[in-house]
A and B are shown apart, each in its own frame.
Chain A
C-alpha cells in the first residue's frame, strides 16, 4: 500500500510538472497578448531533447553526472513527501533536515555541472546561483521549522501540516507573506531568474548542456518548481479531510495550479532584478522569516 503511495507521489510529480510549466507559459503569453504554446508543449520539449544527441562538451564525469544527481535528489524529495496528508513509504525515514539537505543537493549539482563545464557564462550563472542558494535556502528551512517547532518534532508530517494547528496566528500570516514574496525566488522565475538571465549569460549554468542531459535538468527544474508551488498549499491551506484521499489530493493539486497562475502573472509583470538588488531583497525576506519564527516561539 505504502509503496503504492510512493509511486503515486513520483508519478504525480513526473506527470504533472510539465503541465504546470505549460500553465506558466500560457499565462505569461496571455498577459503578453500572445496565444502561447499548447499545454502539451513542455512534454514535447522534453521528448525532443531526450531524442537529441548528448554533446559531452566538458568530457568529465562531474559534467555527465550532475543532471542525474539533480533529478535523483528532487525525486527523492518527492518520494518522502507526505502528499495530501498521507505518509509515503519513506516519509518516516526522513525529516525536515533531510528534505532541506536533498533540495540543497539538487542546487549543488547544478553548480557542479556549471563549474565542470568551464564556460564563462556558466561560471557567472553558478556564482549567482550560489549566492541565491545561500540566502534563500535558510528562508525555506525556517518556513518548514514553523510547523516543526509547534509540534516539537522535525518529522515531515508536522513540518508540512503542523503550522496551522490549532489555527492561524500572526506568525503563520507573516510566514505566508514571506513565502509568497519569495515564491519567484524559490522557483527561479522572473524577477529572480538571475542565474539563467538569457540576454546576459544565455542560460547560465545550463549553457553547455544539450540533448538528454539538458532534458534531465529541465525535468529537475520543473519538478522542483512544482514542489515549491505545492509546499504553501500543504503548509498554509487546511486539508479538506473529505474522507476520500483522491478528493483531498485533487483539491490540493488544483490549488497548486492556482499558485502556478500566480507565478505566471508575477513572471510576466516584472523585469529581472540584478543580483545586487536581489541580495537586498533576500535579506529582507530572511529577517521577516526570523521574525515569524520568533513570533511563533512567543506564542503568537
Chain B
C-alpha cells in the first residue's frame, strides 16, 4: 500500500519533470515551477492526500524570489509531502489552489497580507491577518521590514463585512462576547432564530511571533516563546518547534526525554479536554458540568505545579530534550493524581451519558458531513467525530508514541455530541498512555546538548497531535543561530474555516456550542502569547498566602 503510493508519487514527479527529495523517508520535498502548483495540488487530492497548510517565505536576498510551500499529508502511509515553488519578487503571482482545496483559502490570504504574494482565482482575496489600518504595500514578513516597525495608525478604517442574505438580521458576536473567550468577530445573519450565514474577522491579537523568532532571538529561546502561542496547549507548540529543529538538524534526542515529552503532552491533553468539557457545559447553559469538570481538572493543575513549577506553560521542552526529570516520588504522585481523576471522570461520564437534556442540546447540532470534513481538511476530534480516522500520534508517530498502545476513537454522528464523546474517550486514553509511559520509561540522560552550528537552508516540518488536532511547525534553518523561517499552524486554523458551514441553517441558540465544539483557540491561530496582567502593587498578602487561602477554601467544599 505504502510502496504503491510512493511508486505512484515518484512516477508522477518524473513524468511532470519535478525534482523529488526523498532524504527523509517520512517527508518528501517536491520542487517545481509555479505554473504546476494547481495541477500538482489537484493531483495530490485525487491521490487521497489531506491538505495541511501553505507557507510563504522570502528568498529575495538569496535568489530574488519569494517561495511558497504547499504541504500535504498521506496519513495512512505516514508521509508528508511538501511542494516547493517560487516566483520572482517583481511578479510574485501564483495560481490559487483554493477553488480545489477550500482550506487553503486562509493560507493564501495570509501570504497576500504578509509577503505580498498574489493568487489568481482566489474566491475571497480579502485581508485576513493584518490590521485594518496597516498601510498597503508593506509586507511584514519580508526580510527588509524590521520586526519592530510601527506604522502610523489610521483613523476611520474598518473591515467591510459581507452583506447578509436578503431578509436576514445581522447579530454581531464579538469581539467581546461571553461565548468567545478571545477577541474575534462573527457577523451572524439570522432569519428569526435560524442562522442563514456568517462572516468572520479574526486575527485581532496577531503579534507576529513568527517574525520575532526569526529576527530577534536564537534557536534555544524559541521553545519558551512557542509555548506562549497557546495558553492551553503550550507544550504542543514547544514540542513541535523543537522536533522541527531537531529533524532539520538531524539531532537524535535521548529516549527518556521522548518519554517525558509524551507524558507532558498527555497530561496537557487531560487538562485541555476537561477544560473543554467544562466550557461546553457552560455554553449550553449547564454550569454544573462546568464547575465539576474544572474541579476535577484542578488536580492536574496542581500536579503540574509540583512537576514543573507551573500550573500551565510548563517550560519543560527544549531543543535536544527536556529540562526536568521525573523522580520516583513525582512518579507516584502522578499515578495517584491520574487515578483519582479517572475515578471522578467516570462518574461525570456516566452522568453525561445518561442525561437526556445534554443529548437534546448536542445531538444533530453543528452537523457537517464526513465528505465535507474531508473536503475541508478538518483535523482532531472535530474530524474524528465525522468518521475521519486520523491521529498524528498513530499516523506520524513522534516522541514515544510508537511504544505505547492507545485507541483512536472515531464516531460518525458528525455533530457536537460526537466531538464530546471523542474528547471524553481521549481523556481516558491519555490516562492509559501516561501509565504506560511511566512503566516503560528507560533511564538515561534527558538532554542532548548540541554544540555544532546548524547548517542554513534546511527544511523540515513536524506535526504534533494537540488536544484540538494536528499542530504543524515548518522550519527553514538560517544563519546567526536562528531560523530563517518558522511557520506555525494550530488545529483551529483549518477547523475554524469550516465553522460557517457548520452554522448554516442551525438555531441561533446553538451558536455557542457549535463554535465551542471545535474547541477554538483563536490566539493559537493568531499566533500570540496570552498576556497576563503583572501582579504586584500594594498587596497585604503574599501570592503564596493567597493561593493557600484559595486552596483551603476549595478543599473545604
Instruction: Specify which chain B residues have a CB less than 8 angstroms from the CB of A273 in the assembled complex.
Output: 357, 360-361
Give the chain B neighbours of A53 by CB distance below 8 A: none
**Given A32-B292, A124-B171, A200-B509, residue A270 in contact with residue B286 (CB < 8 A):** yes
Q: In the complex, which residues of chain B have a beta carbon less than 8 angstroms from the beta carbon of A272?
A: 284-286, 361, 509
B178 located at the interface, meaning its Cβ lies under 8 Å from any Cβ of chain A in the complex: yes
Whether B358 and A271, one on each chain, are in contact in the complex, defined by CB atoms closer than 8 angstroms, is yes
Residues A32 and B288 in contact in the complex (CB < 8 Å), given A120-B172, A191-B357, A275-B193:
yes
CB-CB under 8 A from A274, the residues of chain B are 361, 507, 509-510
Residues of A within 8 A of B557 (CB): 33-35
Query: Closest 5 CB pairs between A and B?
Result: A272-B285, A32-B291, A271-B286, A271-B284, A274-B509
Contact (Cβ within 8 A) B509 A198 = no
Interface set, chain A 259-300, CB cutoff 8 A to B: 268-277
* Closest A residue to B510 using CB positions: A274
Bound-state CA distance A120–B169 (Å) is 9
Q: How far is the CA of A194 from the CA of B284 in the complex (A)?
A: 11
B288 proximity list for chain A (CB < 8 A): 28, 31-32, 268-269
Q: For the complex, is B349 an interface residue (Cβ under 8 Å from A)?
A: no
Contact A202 B177 (CB under 8 A): yes
20 further A-B pairs in the complex, CB-CB below 8 A; given A33-B292, A121-B171, A124-B193:
A33-B291, A33-B295, A34-B291, A34-B557, A35-B556, A120-B170, A190-B285, A193-B285, A194-B509, A198-B178, A199-B282, A199-B512, A200-B508, A271-B284, A271-B289, A271-B358, A272-B286, A272-B509, A273-B360, A274-B361
Determine the distance from Cα of A222 to Cα of B177 in the docked complex, in whole angstroms.
Answer: 26
**A224 to B282 CA separation, bound complex (whole angstroms):** 26
B511 at the interface (CB under 8 A from A): yes
Nearest-CB distance from B353 to chain A (Å)? 14
- A127 to chain B minimum Cβ distance, whole angstroms, is 8
**Interface of chain B residues 261 through 275 with chain A (CB within 8 A):** none
Q: Which residues of A contact B282 (CB under 8 A)?
A: 199
Q: Is B124 close to A, CB under 8 A?
A: no
Question: Is A197 among interface residues, defined by CB-CB distance under 8 A?
Answer: yes
Nearest CB of chain A from residue B230's CB, rounded to whole Å: 22
**Contact indicator per residue, chain A 19-46, by CB within 8 Å of chain B (1) or not (0):** 0000000001001111100000000000
Give A127 to B509 CA distance when docked, in angstroms: 13
A-B contact pairs, 30 of them (CB 8 A): A28-B287, A31-B288, A32-B287, A32-B288, A32-B290, A32-B292, A33-B291, A33-B292, A33-B295, A34-B291, A35-B556, A35-B557, A120-B170, A190-B286, A194-B509, A199-B283, A200-B179, A268-B287, A268-B288, A270-B286, A271-B286, A271-B358, A272-B284, A272-B361, A272-B509, A273-B357, A274-B509, A275-B193, A275-B507, A275-B509
Fill in one digit per residue for A151-170: 1 if any B CB lies within 8 Å of its CB, else 0: 00000000000000000000
Contact at B284–A276, with CB atoms within 8 Å?
A: no
Interface residues of B (CB under 8 A from A): 169-172, 177-179, 192-193, 281-292, 295, 357-358, 360-361, 507-512, 553, 556-557
State how many residues of chain A have any CB contact under 8 Å with chain B.
29
In whole angstroms, what is the CA distance A129 to B482 when docked?
60
Q: With A and B bound together, what is the CA distance between A274 and B178 in angstroms?
A: 18
Most buried by A among B281, B287, B291: B287
Give the distance to chain B from A125, nearest Cβ to Cβ, in Å: 11
A-B pair number, CB within 8 angstroms? 80
A33-B291, A191-B285, A200-B509 known; A276 vs B553 contact (CB < 8 Å): no
What's the Cα separation between A202 and B291 when bound, in Å? 20
Chain A interface, >50% SS class: loop
Min Cβ gap B297→A in Å is 12
Cβ contacts under 8 Å, B290 to chain A = 32
A157, B77: Cα distance in complex, Å: 80
Interfacial chain B residues near A31, Cβ < 8 Å = 288
Partner of B553, one of A35, A199, A277: A35
**Please, which residues of chain A bring their CB within 8 A of the CB of B556?**
35
B interface footprint on A97-112 (CB within 8 Å = 1, 0 otherwise): 0000000000000000
**Chain B residue at minimal CB-CB distance from A120:** B171
> Which partner residue on chain A sits nearest B170 by CB separation?
A120
- Rounded to whole angstroms, the CA-CA distance of A200 and B291 in the bound complex is 19
Q: Is the CB of A199 within 8 A of B171?
A: no
A273 to B281, CA, bound (A): 13
- Contact between A200 and B553 (Cβ–Cβ < 8 Å)? no
Interface centre among A33, A121, A268 (most CB of B within 10 A): A33
User: Complex formed: what's the CA distance from A269 to B356 in Å?
Assistant: 11
Chain B nearest CB, measured from A176 CB (Å):
23
Q: How far is the CB of A235 from chain B (nearest CB, A)?
A: 28
CB distance from A267 to the nearest CB of B (A): 9
> For the complex, what is the distance from the CA of A180 to the CA of B509, rounded to whole Å?
25
Q: Please name all residues of chain A whose beta carbon is closer than 8 Å to the beta carbon of B177 when the two chains form the complex.
A: 202
Given A35-B557, A193-B285, A199-B285; A270-B357 close (CB under 8 Å):
yes
Residues from chain B with Cβ under 8 Å of A191 in the complex: 285, 357
B184 to chain A, nearest CB (A): 15
Q: Are A200 and B358 in contact (CB under 8 A)?
A: no
User: From B282, which residue of chain A is reached at the shortest CB distance?
Assistant: A199
B360's contact among A28, A190, A197, A277, by CB below 8 Å, is which? Answer: A277
Give the complex CA separation of A127 and B192 in angstroms. 9
Q: How far is the CB of A132 from chain B (nearest CB, A)?
A: 13
* A37-96 at interface with B (beta carbon < 8 Å): none
The CA-CA distance from A120 to B358 in the complex, in Å, is 27
| Cβ distance A34 to chain B, nearest Cβ, rounded Å | 6
Chain A contacts of B357 at CB under 8 A? 191, 270-271, 273
The distance from the CB of B504 to the nearest CB of chain A, in whole angstroms, is 17
Contacts of A277 in B (CB 8 A): 360
From A197, A202, A274, name the one whose CB has the most chain B CB atoms within 10 angstroms. Answer: A274
Q: Cβ of B286: which chain A residues have Cβ within 8 Å of it?
A: 190, 270-272
A190 to B283: give the CA distance in the assembly, Å.
13
**Which residues from A are CB-within-8-Å of B360?**
273, 277
Give, as a whole number of angstroms, the nearest-CB distance from B54 to chain A.
Answer: 34
Looking at A127, A193, A271, A273, the one whose CB has the most chain B CB atoms below 10 A away is A271
The answer to whether B281 touches A271, judged by C-beta atoms less than 8 angstroms apart, is: yes
Question: CB-nearest residue of chain A relative to B188?
Answer: A120
Q: Whole-angstrom distance between the alpha carbons of A120 and B509 in the complex?
A: 14
